[in-house]
Amino acid sequence: MKLTGTLRILVLAVSIIGISLFHYLTPLHLPALHDIFQRLYYLPIILAAFWFGLRGGLAASIVVSCLYAPHILFQWGARPSLDMEKFLEILLYNVVGGVTGFLCQKEEERREELERAARRLEDSYRTLRSQADLIIGIEEQLRRAERLSAIGELSAMLAHEIRNPLGSIRGTAEILRDDFPSGHPKQEFLDILLKETDRLNRVVEDFLRLARPVEVEKRTCDLAAELRELVKLLDAEAVTRGVRLTLDADDIPPVAGDPERLRQAFLNLLLNGIQATTAGGSVTVRVREVPRSGDEPAFVELSFNDNGAGIARENLERIFGPFFTTKEGGTGLGLAITQRIVEGHGGSVSVESEQGRGTTFRVRLPV
C-alpha cells in the first residue's frame, strides 16, 4: 500500500515523538537503553529523506535535534564528559539527513527524467508506427494503382483484339448451328463453342469492369430487399449443390448507394460462398446496424459466412488481388471488383477464415 504525503508525515511525527518520550522517561542509570534510543532517531531521519528528499531529511534531523538537545542539557548536564559525544550525535543527525536527502532527491530526479524519456520514446514509437502504417498503406495504394493501370492497358487491347473476333466467332457458330437439326452430333460441338465464347466474353467484361473507375450513382438503397432478391435468385443454384442458403436481416435503415453495383458485389460474395461449400453445408448472410460509438460513425455490417473448406492463411493477404484465385477455372477478378465497389461507397470489406471451418466476408457500409 502506498502511503499518502499526510500519512507519511504522521508516521514520522509519531516515530520521532515516541523515541523522544522513551528518552525522557527512561532513567539515566540505564545508559544502554539511551544509546539504543539515540540510534533509533536515524530511522525517521532516513525515512524522511527517502520520502521527501533533501528538505525532508533536513527537516526531520532539525526536529530530532530540537527534541534531543533539551534532554542533553537538562538530564545529562550533570555529566559533562558525555556532552561532547551527545552534541556530536546531533551533528551526525543533520549530516545523515542532509546527505541521505540529497542522494534520494537526485535518485528521484533521475527516475523522473528516465520516466519522461520513456514516455517520449513511447510517443515517438507510436508516431513512427502510425507513419509506417500510413506509408505502407500509401505504397499498397500505389501498387494497386499500378496494377489497375496495367489492367487498363490490357483491357483496351482485349476489347479490340479479342472481343471483336469473339463476336464474329459467336455469330458464325450461331449460323452454323442453324444448318444442323436438333440432336445432330455437330450441334453439340457448336453449343460448346457458343458456351466458351460467352465465357471468354464474360472474362473480358470483368477486365473492363475492373479497369474502369467505379462510378457510383448514389440513391436510397434497401439492402435487405436487395439481398432477399439475390437469395431467391441463387436458391436454385444452392439447392443443386446441396447447400442451404439463409438470410438473417434486422430492421436496418436504407443506405445511400448504387443498388446495381452493390447487388453485383453481394452476388460475387454469395457465389463464392456457395461454390466453396460442399453438399450438406450452409451459407448464411446476416445484416445488422452498428450504432455510432465515440468517433466511429454508425454503419451497416453484412457478413457472408460459409462452412466450406476455408482459405489458407498465406492466401488471406492476396485474396482481394486481381487475378488471384483458388478456384478451378476462376479469373481471380470477382473479389477485386467487389472490393472496388464497396470502397467506392466509402465502405470496407474484410475476410476471416480458418481452414476446415469456413470463411466469413464482412462488408461495412456507412449509414
Q: Based on the fold, state whether residues 225 and 348 are members of the same structural domain.
A: yes
Q: Based on the fold, state whether residues 332 and 275 are members of the same structural domain.
A: yes
Q: Is residue 307 part of a domain?
A: yes
Q: Based on the fold, state whether residues 173 and 295 are members of the same structural domain.
A: no
Q: Is 235 exposed, middle or buried (0-12, 13-18, 19+ CB in 10 A)?
A: middle
Q: Is residue 132 part of a domain?
A: no
Q: Based on the fold, state whether residues 35 and 96 are members of the same structural domain.
A: yes
Q: Based on the fold, state whether residues 185 and 252 are members of the same structural domain.
A: no
Q: Is residue 57 part of a domain?
A: yes
Contact 177, 185 (CB under 8 A): no
Q: Quick one: what percent of the chain has pLDDT higher than 70?
A: 84
Domain boundary among 178, 193, 211: 211
Q: Based on the fold, state whether residues 88 and 110 are members of the same structural domain.
A: yes
| Residue 179 to residue 238: CA distance in whole angstroms | 37
Domain boundary among 163, 190, 211: 211
Q: Based on the fold, state whether residues 30 and 104 are members of the same structural domain.
A: yes
Per-residue CA distances from 355 to 65, 308, 323 (Å) = 78, 8, 22
Domain boundary among 165, 187, 211: 211
| Residue 244 to residue 239: CA distance in whole angstroms | 7
Q: Which residues contact 20 (CB under 8 A, 6 or more apart)?
A: 67, 68, 71
Q: Based on the fold, state whether residues 224 and 362 are members of the same structural domain.
A: yes
Mean pLDDT of 192-211: 71
Highest mean pLDDT among 116-125, 175-184, 207-216, 314-323: 116-125
Is the pLDDT higher at 85 or at 236? 236
pLDDT at 82: 55
Q: What is the DSSP string of 65-76?
A: HHHHHHIIIIIS
Q: Based on the fold, state whether residues 290 and 193 are members of the same structural domain.
A: no
Q: Is residue 353 part of a domain?
A: yes
The pLDDT-based confidence of 189 (bands split at 50, 70, 90) is confident
Q: Which of 150-159, 221-230, 319-328 has the lowest mean pLDDT?
A: 150-159
Contact 38, 90 (CB under 8 A): no
Q: Based on the fold, state whether residues 252 and 155 are members of the same structural domain.
A: no
Number of domains in the chain: 3
Contact 27, 71 (CB under 8 A): no
> Which domain range does residue 238 map to?
219-366
264-322: pLDDT as tens digits: 889 889 988 888 888 889 999 999 888 877 777 888 999 999 988 888 888 888 888 77
Is the CA virtual torsion 147, 149, 152, 158 positive or negative? Answer: negative
The whole-model pTM stands at 0.50
